[in-house]
């Protein structure tokens, strides 16, 4: 088994979802995580994605740490009569990253592949780096349609993006049935699916696909993250619940950095 591609520094992205409830707790979590991240900055990139209300206080807490900041969603229009929405253009002065297409957005809020693609394009146009989450439902997994579903989701996004922005694109494979359930995809399945994602990237972006990072997410934690990031196809992880525990997420940073430090074979 080979170590990850040295041309792509591993990324650990912490999706806090609608947590924590208090700004002070968000700031404390960010500060504690940043200490571990600073020690391993050369070997792993770390980005935190708090809820919208905590973006500003977390941004201030992260100044000078090297840890990056992102938002969990955006709307595809720059401005207008869209009550309750926030555009990517509005967020560019606050953060450098955006997540779009998380399964909770797709399932709970009914977002389609096309809408996810429009959000990704809007975020890229605004100059943000974008994590596009893709993944199959349990019925699709049981039916053996994982690669077909995931490849289709990637294709729709790539039709909206230019290869010139490939260095600001990340694809996160998160099987829907593994998110928040304690069940995670076994590494061989994750590897096959992430390889399928990279094949779609190569078809869409050609040689520029080499700079796109592909992550695994879905009940990933300190105990199993190494089994994913040591896969040839994996460039890091999109982390949910485990990222809300400072010690757990710090251990994940250390584990990913340890894999990144291994000599190439």
- The H or E element containing residue 100 is strand 97-100
Entry pTM: 0.96
**Residue 20, token pair as written in the block:** 């924590």
pLDDT tens per residue, the chain (265 residues)?
333 455 799 999 999 999 999 999 999 999 999 999 999 999 999 999 999 999 999 999 999 999 999 999 999 999 999 999 999 999 998 999 999 999 999 999 999 999 999 999 999 999 999 999 999 999 999 999 999 999 999 999 999 999 999 999 999 999 999 888 888 899 999 999 999 999 999 999 999 999 999 999 999 999 999 999 999 999 999 999 999 999 999 999 999 999 999 887 6
pLDDT of amino acid 82: 98
Task: From the candidates 45, 68, 104, 174, give the one annotated as an active-site residue.
Answer: 174
Identify the DSSP state of 264.
P
Full set of structural domains in the chain with CATH: 11-261 (3.20.20.70)
Active site includes 136? no
pLDDT of residue 7: 72
| Residue 58 exposed, middle or buried by CB count within 10 Å (0-12, 13-18, 19+) | buried
- Name the catalytic one among 102, 111, 136, 230: 102
pLDDT at 1: 34
Distance of alpha carbon 255 from alpha carbon 22, whole angstroms: 29
Catalytic annotation present for 102: yes
The pLDDT value recorded for residue 184 is: 85
Strand partners, 106: none
pLDDT at position 3: 37
Specify the pLDDT at position 2. 35
DSSP 211-255: G-EEEEESS--TTTHHHHHTSTT--EEEESGGGGSHHHHHHHHHH
Q: Are the beta carbons of 99 and 131 closer than 8 angstroms? A: yes
Q: Please state, in angstroms and rounded to a whole number, the distance separating the CA atoms of residues 200 and 138.
A: 22
Tell me, what's the pLDDT at 5?
56
Which residues, 6 or more positions from 127, have their beta carbon under 8 angstroms from its beta carbon? 92
Q: What is the DSSP string of 122-181?
A: HHHHTT-EEEEEE---HHHHHTT-HHHHHHHHHHHHHTTS-GGGGGGEEEEE--GGGTTT
């Amino acid at each position: 088994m080979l170590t990850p591609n040295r041309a792509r520094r591993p990324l650990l992205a912490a999706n806090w979802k609608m947590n924590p409830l208090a700004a002070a707790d968000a700031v404390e979590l960010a500060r504690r995580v940043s200490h571990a991240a600073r020690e391993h900055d050369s070997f792993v990139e770390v980005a935190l994605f708090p809820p919208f209300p905590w973006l500003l206080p977390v941004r201030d807490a992260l100044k000078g740490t090297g840890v990056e900041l992102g938002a969990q969603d955006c709307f595809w229009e720059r401005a207008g009569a869209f009550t309750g929405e926030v555009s990517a253009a509005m967020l560019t002065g606050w953060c450098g990253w955006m997540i779009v297409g998380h399964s909770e957005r797709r399932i709970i809020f009914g977002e389609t592949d096309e809408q996810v693609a429009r959000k990704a394009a809007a975020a890229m146009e605004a100059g943000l780096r974008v994590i596009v989450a893709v993944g199959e439902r349990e019925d699709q997994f049981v039916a053996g349609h994982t690669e077909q579903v995931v490849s289709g989701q990637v294709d729709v996004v790539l039709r909206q993006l230019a290869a010139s922005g490939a260095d600001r694109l990340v694809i996160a494979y998160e099987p829907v049935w593994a998110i928040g359930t304690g069940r995670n995809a076994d590494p061989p399945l994750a590897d096959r699916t992430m390889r399928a994602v990279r094949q779609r990237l190569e078809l869409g972006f050609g040689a520029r696909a080499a700079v796109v990072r592909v992550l695994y997410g879905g009940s990933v934690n300190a105990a199993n993250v190494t089994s994913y990031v040591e896969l040839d196809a994996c460039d890091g992880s999109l982390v949910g619940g485990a990222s809300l525990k400072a010690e757990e997420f710090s251990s994940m940073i250390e584990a990913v950095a340890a894999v990144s430090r291994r000599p190439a074979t």
